[in-house]
Homo-oligomer: A and B are copies of this chain.
Amino acid sequence: MNAFQFQNPTRIVFGEGSADQVGQLASQYGKTILLVYGSGSIKKTGLYDKTINYLQEAGITVHELPNIEPNPRLSTVNKGIDICRTNDVDFILAVGGGSVIDASKAIAAGVPYEGDVWDFFTNKAVIEKALPLGTVLTLAATGSEMNGNSVVTNWEENLKRAFGSPYTYPQFSILDPTLTYTVPRNHTVNGAVDIMSHVFEQYFSLTENTPLQERFCESILQTVIENVEIALEKPDDAAARANLMWCGTMALNGGLISVGMTNDWASHGIEHEVSAIYDIPHGAGLAVIFPNWMKYVYEERLDRFVQYAVRVWNINPEGKSDKEIALAGIQATRDFFSRIGAEAKLADFEIGSEKLDRMAEEAVRYGAIGSFKRLEKQDVRAILEMSL
């Protein structure tokens, strides 16, 4: 276990009906807020009307930034920053999934910053303050509701980049599992893949002596695996939806489940290059990339992949070599993703080999990526080729 620091001040308000507390919670932080949301599904479900009502009842003035894209765009973030500055907004409320929350964090950091907010994504500047923000989560996936990370796409340059900051943890996050009953089937699928991928990035680590952290990771993986098919079968299954939502939050809650472990994040880096060009859903891209990353790197630390296969997928080790056990676990991952309906190949998105070089080049723009195995350009290219 490495030395570490951990602090996560986000207040979680979890449970059916918790979204009714939004006015009372938001009014503790702001009088003039920017309400950030996506394509309008919250209008269809009535959540928009309810939220506006609660906010107005609490005496809050509401400005709005709708139409956040699934891969939220820098241009949209800049629009939000302008609205905040023009109207003296003092609090940001994100109502949606990871894209909405990530965009809100970028806006929160950008408002008090004199330079270009993109500087925070390109390591040209470090966030020193931000507007406070809160979230109402509508999708089990991102973990963004309980961490300080944000991923935004600069569409003009086809670059998808991330920042993480202690200043952009939400003040509160409302987690009402009933809000996820109505999400489209493929969002549930991609959300589950996203949650599992967040765990993979932390679990497949070269750090020694982290038995509790490994078990926490396995706990989340097992619970997602148990619950996602139930939620797909019966979208309003209260238990399955609550479990998936809490798994999503725990999978990336400031890194609690992997404190003292070196994380990898290469697969996310590769996926970001794919969706920066082709604008595919993040979780869908991860479902394609991750099993191939696993196949490419598993021999770096066979024992971890053996443990994964046995503990998470109940692979019977008898009569198998370690390599066979590990590969069976990877195959079980692939099979599970396919069984729940996630795509298996880039070809499923009509992505060919044309831009593999460009994507591999961009992935290592700041140097080799990953820590489980350091990936150079040719490694990234190989994983992308395996994914075609």
Report the separation of the CA atoms of residues A246 and B13 in the bound assembly, to the nearest whole angstrom.
26
Shortest CB-to-CB span from A1 to chain B, Å, is 5
Shortest CB-to-CB span from A164 to chain B, Å, is 16
Of chain B, the residue at the smallest CB distance from A3 is B15
Report the separation of the CA atoms of residues A228 and B227 in the bound assembly, to the nearest whole angstrom.
34
Question: Contact mask A227-261 → B, CB, 8 Å, 1/0?
Answer: 10000000000010011001100100000100110
Query: Are A7 and B9 in contact, with the CB atoms below 8 A?
Result: yes
Report the separation of the CA atoms of residues A242 and B4 in the bound assembly, to the nearest whole angstrom.
12
Contact among B13, B216, B243, B260 with A14 in the assembled complex (CB-CB below 8 Å):
B260
Contact among B6, B219, B246 with A12 in the assembled complex (CB-CB below 8 Å):
B6
Of chain B, the residue at the smallest CB distance from A219 is B215
**Given A246-B1, A246-B212, A246-B259 in contact, is the A14-B6 Cβ separation under 8 Å?**
yes
Chain A interface extent, by class: 35 or more
Answer whether residue A5 sits at the interface, using C-beta atoms and an 8 A cutoff.
yes
Answer whether residue A11 sits at the interface, using C-beta atoms and an 8 A cutoff.
yes
Query: Are A242 and B1 in contact, with the CB atoms below 8 A?
Result: yes
Report the separation of the CA atoms of residues A292 and B13 in the bound assembly, to the nearest whole angstrom.
36
Query: Are B14 and A3 in contact, with the CB atoms below 8 A?
Result: yes
Report the separation of the CA atoms of residues A260 and B260 in the bound assembly, to the nearest whole angstrom.
27
Query: Are B8 and A243 in contact, with the CB atoms below 8 A?
Result: no
Report the separation of the CA atoms of residues A215 and B11 in the bound assembly, to the nearest whole angstrom.
23
Report the separation of the CA atoms of residues A4 and B249 in the bound assembly, to the nearest whole angstrom.
14
Query: Are A223 and B215 in contact, with the CB atoms below 8 A?
Result: yes
**Given A9-B9, A246-B1 in contact, is the A209-B14 Cβ separation under 8 Å?**
no
Query: Are A7 and B14 in contact, with the CB atoms below 8 A?
Result: no
Query: Are B1 and A5 in contact, with the CB atoms below 8 A?
Result: no
Report the separation of the CA atoms of residues A378 and B171 in the bound assembly, to the nearest whole angstrom.
46
Query: Are B15 and A4 in contact, with the CB atoms below 8 A?
Result: yes
Report the separation of the CA atoms of residues A7 and B8 in the bound assembly, to the nearest whole angstrom.
8
Shortest CB-to-CB span from A139 to chain B, Å, is 18
Query: Are A14 and B4 in contact, with the CB atoms below 8 A?
Result: yes
Answer whether residue A321 sits at the interface, using C-beta atoms and an 8 A cutoff.
no
**Given A216-B219, A219-B216, A259-B14 in contact, is the A211-B243 Cβ separation under 8 Å?**
yes
Query: Are A223 and B212 in contact, with the CB atoms below 8 A?
Result: yes
What are the residues of chain B within 8 A of A246 when measuring CB–CB? 1, 212, 259-260
What are the residues of chain B within 8 A of A256 when measuring CB–CB? 256
Query: Are B209 and A239 in contact, with the CB atoms below 8 A?
Result: yes
Answer whether residue A49 sits at the interface, using C-beta atoms and an 8 A cutoff.
no
Answer whether residue A220 sits at the interface, using C-beta atoms and an 8 A cutoff.
yes
Query: Are B209 and A220 in contact, with the CB atoms below 8 A?
Result: no
Contact among B2, B8, B222 with A8 in the assembled complex (CB-CB below 8 Å):
B8
Answer whether residue A57 sits at the interface, using C-beta atoms and an 8 A cutoff.
no
Answer whether residue A158 sits at the interface, using C-beta atoms and an 8 A cutoff.
no
Answer whether residue A226 sits at the interface, using C-beta atoms and an 8 A cutoff.
yes
A10, A18, A215 — which one has the most chain B CB atoms within 10 A of its CB? A215
Shortest CB-to-CB span from A28 to chain B, Å, is 13
Of chain B, the residue at the smallest CB distance from A215 is B219
A-B contact pairs, 27 of them (CB 8 A): A1-B242, A1-B243, A1-B246, A3-B16, A3-B17, A4-B12, A5-B11, A5-B12, A5-B14, A6-B11, A7-B9, A7-B11, A7-B12, A8-B8, A14-B260, A208-B239, A211-B222, A211-B226, A211-B227, A212-B219, A212-B220, A212-B243, A212-B250, A215-B218, A216-B216, A242-B260, A256-B256
